Amino acid sequence: MCLAVPGKILTVDNSGELRMASVDFGGVVRDICIEWLPEAGIGDYVLAHVGTALSMIDEESAKASLDAFEEIEKLMDQEVADALDE
């Protein structure tokens, strides 16, 4: 099983051999390859896995996924805090 993470394209770089983009993944910005999504541009949301954009995604779906990841993180933090209190 793999996990694809949604992110928003901030910049696009066409100067190299592969088309690259700086993408914001919920506050973490990474450079990823968007070569296989020629229609992707600044402001678009993509699903990425291992540094490569796999597909386009609409903003609503991207935000729902990011919200779910945030909720999971909060639950995990609470579980750790509860375990330390025991």
Q: Which tens digit of pLDDT belongs to each residue from 3-35? A: 899 999 999 999 999 999 999 998 999 999 999
Quickly list H helices, 1-86: 59-85
pTM: 0.84
What are the extents of the domains in the chain? 5-85
Topology, domain 5-85: SH3 type barrels. (2.30.30)
The pLDDT assigned to 83 comes to 86
* CA max distance for the chain: 55
Question: Residue 1 pLDDT more than 80?
Answer: no
Distance CA 39, CA 81 (A): 44
- pLDDT single digits (tens) 33-81: 999 999 999 999 999 999 999 999 999 999 999 899 899 999 999 988 8
